[in-house]
Copies of this chain bind each other. A is one copy, B any other.
Amino acid sequence: MSKSAATLTHIARTAEVSPSTVSKVLNGRSGVSAETRERVERALRTHGYSPPAERHRQPFVELVFERVESAFAIEIIRGVQRAAVSRGMSVVLTESGDRHTPGPEWLDQVLQRRPSGVVLVFSDLPKASKERLALRGIPFVILDPAGDPAPDVPSVGSANWSGGVQAARHLLELGHRSIGVIGGPHDMMCSRARVSGFRAALDEAGVPFRADALRWGDFLREDGLALGRELLQLPDRPTAIFAGNDLMALGVLEAARMLGLSVPRELSVVGYDDLEIARWSGPPLTTVRQPLAEMGEQAALLALDAHRGTLRAARVDLATSLVVRDSTAPPAKA
């Protein structure tokens, strides 16, 4: 009898079940009651069970979105794909649906599929699910562009605050002194970090932050359009607007177009993200690049490399960078 078989027999005896039930629990197979499953998992933990070697895992990375969405998702997929290919693996895509946390059915499926690593986008897992994955040696990493990672889980994000700083410095260098800001949702840390960095750079330069020209949107083009119209109709019209993401920046471009304002001659616009659409707008958008593909790649590599050692609860923030295109210019002479 192999060492691992002996271990399973011992655990089965502790949990008062058959060894095949222990194996069922480990592999997420059906036919085990929730009560029994918990008893077995308790026994596994008590025994300090360590999951079997790598050969038991299948050569793929599982990438989980709440929903496979728009331009954002494709960048992440591309990065995870790159990491998988570099390890001779493939990518399995799953959607957890409209919840922020994948449900128990998802978890059972994952235990059956036995991926080499899991990358969760924008989601977190309930504590019990984290434990169940850990027990089976399936490492997971949260890809969290929202900037609010769970403390006990490794995660990858990007430097939102310094992205805001870069946007402000660019506009200041061009000579803008009256700048409007349309932030993303006020309750998301990434939105607040971007606006806060923007404000810090103005402070540093001794340029007043226009609290009267600050709005919070919901990351949608329509918000950029509606709030952009508001800002552009203020008595003291700003000469530039910083939008918290590219979609809202596109809305600001549209607001300017509808009001007959020429960009960048009469209004400069800076976006955030550098999605592909930023290159395609009229005019092409100056924006802060959030390296989504690299973030996906990094998250996948973190998960895959966890095999070779322990995966600590680390936070990796990748750098953001300014991409200057045609939507920004010095302000028109008053």
A93 contacts partner chain B, Cβ-Cβ < 8 Å: yes
A77 contacts partner chain B, Cβ-Cβ < 8 Å: yes
Q: Scoring A residues 180 to 220 as 1 if CB is less than 8 Å from chain B, else 0, what string do you get?
A: 00000000000000000000000000000000000000000
Q: Say whether A280 contacts B93, CB under 8 Å.
A: no
Of A21-29, A66-74, A121-129, A310-318, the segment with at least 4 beta carbons within 8 Å of chain B is A66-74
Taken together as a complex, chains A and B put the C-alpha atoms of A68 and B276 apart, in Å, by 13
Known A-B contacts A92-B91, A93-B77, A113-B90; A282 and B280 likewise in contact (beta carbons under 8 Å): no
Taken together as a complex, chains A and B put the C-alpha atoms of A221 and B254 apart, in Å, by 19
Copy count, this protein chain: 2
Chain B positions within 8 Å of A57 at CB level: none
Q: Scoring A residues 252 to 286 as 1 if CB is less than 8 Å from chain B, else 0, what string do you get?
A: 01100100000000000000000011011111000
Number of chain A residues whose Cβ lies closer than 8 Å to a Cβ of chain B: 32
Taken together as a complex, chains A and B put the C-alpha atoms of A150 and B94 apart, in Å, by 31
Q: Say whether B283 contacts A282, CB under 8 Å.
A: no
A140 contacts partner chain B, Cβ-Cβ < 8 Å: no
Q: Say whether B81 contacts A74, CB under 8 Å.
A: no
A60 contacts partner chain B, Cβ-Cβ < 8 Å: yes
Known A-B contacts A90-B109, A282-B281; A74 and B78 likewise in contact (beta carbons under 8 Å): no
Q: Say whether B68 contacts A77, CB under 8 Å.
A: yes
Q: Scoring A residues 75 to 96 as 1 if CB is less than 8 Å from chain B, else 0, what string do you get?
A: 0011001000100001111110
Indicate which residue in B77, B221, B282 contacts A257 across the interface (CB closer than 8 Å). Answer: B282
A250 contacts partner chain B, Cβ-Cβ < 8 Å: yes
Chain B positions within 8 Å of A81 at CB level: 68, 93, 95
A247 contacts partner chain B, Cβ-Cβ < 8 Å: yes
Q: Say whether B68 contacts A71, CB under 8 Å.
A: no
What residue in chain B is nearest A250 (Cβ atoms)?
B280
Known A-B contacts A60-B92, A74-B71, A91-B93; A280 and B277 likewise in contact (beta carbons under 8 Å): yes
Taken together as a complex, chains A and B put the C-alpha atoms of A277 and B95 apart, in Å, by 23
Indicate which residue in B70, B91, B109, B277 contacts A74 across the interface (CB closer than 8 Å). Answer: B70
3 nearest A-B residue pairs (beta carbon): A254-B282, A74-B74, A91-B93
A90-B113, A92-B93, A250-B281 given; 11 more Cβ-contact pairs under 8 Å:
A69-B74, A70-B74, A74-B77, A81-B93, A85-B95, A90-B109, A91-B93, A221-B279, A221-B280, A253-B282, A277-B280
- Residues on A lying within 8 angstroms of B by beta carbon are 60, 68-71, 73-74, 77-78, 81, 85, 90-95, 109, 113, 221, 247, 250, 253-254, 257, 276-277, 279-283
